[in-house]
Chains A and B, each alone.
Chain A
Amino acid sequence: GNSVTQMEGPVTLSEEAFLTINCTYTATGYPSLFWYVQYPGEGLQLLLKATKADDKGSNKGFEATYRKETTSFHLEKGSVQVSDSAVYFCAAMAQKLVFGQGTRLTINP
């Protein structure tokens, strides 16, 4: 079956640092790929997505590129803010959505 593996957390960074959260997937065919964010006390929100190889999803300064050759969809942001502190989930969708285990990110001022 499909599976998603993402970088274990927690991750703690200082404000304005560069962020990478790794995500790799295994799937038959070419799934759509997603990053979701969960702020404290809230449900999940779609952050960005990519539906085919070499697509780049972007939103709120975050980016991720669908890399078919490495089966990866790493999340990046050039300069993080305290307000980016949240749990981030990578997900892949073929027939159904499969999530990674989540990465808790804390940004210190």
Chain B
Amino acid sequence: DVKVTQSSRYLVKRTGEKVFLECVQDMDHENMFWYRQDPGLGLRLIYFSYDVKMKEKGDIPEGYSVSREKKERFSLILESASTNQTSMYLCASGPLGTSGVFGPGTRLTVL
């Protein structure tokens, strides 16, 4: 089975901290995605990557950056966390042109 893992299920950080969310997939997928999920807003795409060292902005990239140094790993970085970045973060991966398999999510709280 395809497996997408995220480094933490729950994370609590303080305003201004630098936060790293890690996502790893084990199926050699080209595409990887980061979404945030908020009540009443569904999932919104933050960034995606279709190859190593390649990245594309999604719908809400402001306040985030990403890194993809290896094909299996896609990191989401909050350079200076703010309270409005409290959310559920979901990573997904998939072959080109597919919707992807989702990880279990990381619930981030910024105090």
A99 at the interface (CB under 8 A from B): yes
Contact B42 A96 (CB under 8 A): no
Q: Using CB atoms, name the residue of chain B closest to A32.
A: B99
Tell me the total A-B contact number using a CB cutoff of 8 A: 45
B78 at the interface (CB under 8 A from A): no
B41: contacting residue among A46, A96, A98, A101, CB under 8 A: A101
Contact B99 A42 (CB under 8 A): no
Distance to closest chain A CB from B35 (angstroms): 8
Contact A99 B102 (CB under 8 A): no
Q: 8 Å CB contacts to B: which residues of A71-109?
A: 89, 91, 93, 96-102
Interface centre among B37, B41, B45, B101 (most CB of A within 10 A): B37
Given contacts A43-B104, A96-B45, A96-B48, contact A101 B40 (CB under 8 A): yes
B100 at the interface (CB under 8 A from A): yes
Q: How large is the interface on B (under 10, 10 to 19, 20 to 34, 35 or more residues)?
A: 20 to 34
Contact B102 A97 (CB under 8 A): no
Q: 8 Å CB contacts to B: which residues of A42-61?
A: 42-46, 49
In the complex the two chains form, what is the Cα distance from A11 to B109 in whole Å?
Answer: 28
Q: Using CB atoms, name the residue of chain A closest to B58.
A: A96
Given contacts A42-B104, A44-B90, A96-B58, contact A101 B42 (CB under 8 A): yes
Contact A46 B42 (CB under 8 A): no
Residues of B within 8 A of A46 (CB): 99, 101
Contact A89 B99 (CB under 8 A): no
A25 at the interface (CB under 8 A from B): no
In the complex the two chains form, what is the Cα distance from A55 to B37 in whole Å?
Answer: 28
6 pairs, CB–CB < 8 Å, chain A vs chain B: A42-B105, A43-B102, A45-B102, A46-B101, A93-B99, A98-B45
Given contacts A43-B105, A89-B43, A99-B43, 13 further A-B contacts (CB under 8 A): A32-B99, A34-B99, A42-B104, A43-B103, A44-B43, A89-B42, A93-B99, A97-B33, A97-B99, A99-B42, A101-B40, A101-B41, A102-B43
